[in-house]
Structure 1
Amino acid sequence: MKVLSLRYCTISQESEALFQFYQALGLTPKTDSESDAQQGGIFLAGDSWIEVWPDGEGMPAGTMLQLVVDDADAFAARAKEQGLNPQGPMEAHGEKIYFVEGPGGFPVSFQSTVSGH
């Protein structure tokens, strides 16, 4: 079991200000058709990244830590052994994803690439 990268995602009314803040820190936004700088964006950092998006319908405000792992099923099994209650899996964007709630309700997901993607 290995963590491959981290993704930090914030959905907020302050997405434009956060976008400008990360640019001011010297981070370069990913540029493609899926990432519109006026709406938010993704800042790559090696294999990890930061996402900022505006809240709205289907995108409730919040912050989430996403752990990209080599084997999401193995991480889910370990989480259960440790008394956690991972939900899932679900598949989206070529990844198998589980969700778990951390202390204080902090949402965390862990996911791995589905073979063939």
Structure 2
Amino acid sequence: MELERRDSRRIPFKGYVNRVQGGIATICRAVNLSRTGICFDRIAGPVKGHGEVISVEFQLPTSEKTLVARGRAVNTGNGRVRVRFTSISPEHRAMIGGYIDSARIVLQAY
């Protein structure tokens, strides 16, 4: 049995992520989101691997505000990049938490 390594549960999240890495911005498709990180498909551009610093910018469907976070790549397999947030404003963290909480209520109704 595989040990669960996530600090918080993820929810499906479809949207676009602006990945900024080494001064180069790349648009990627988001796959899922949690309070502590985000996963997205790597459409273009290399990712060196575990521990690489990546900045992300994205919008929640419930807001027009652009959220900005910095994190580290914790997994880059299967054409996806999983980023654990290391620097995010309290306001943006709260917005993500509120979105996740409301989405879970909807998901549980099905």
With the length of structure 1 as denominator, give the TM-score of the two structures: 0.29
Which has the larger Rg? 1
Q: Which has the higher contact order (CA 8 A, sep 6+)?
A: 1
Length-normalised TM-score, structure 2: 0.30
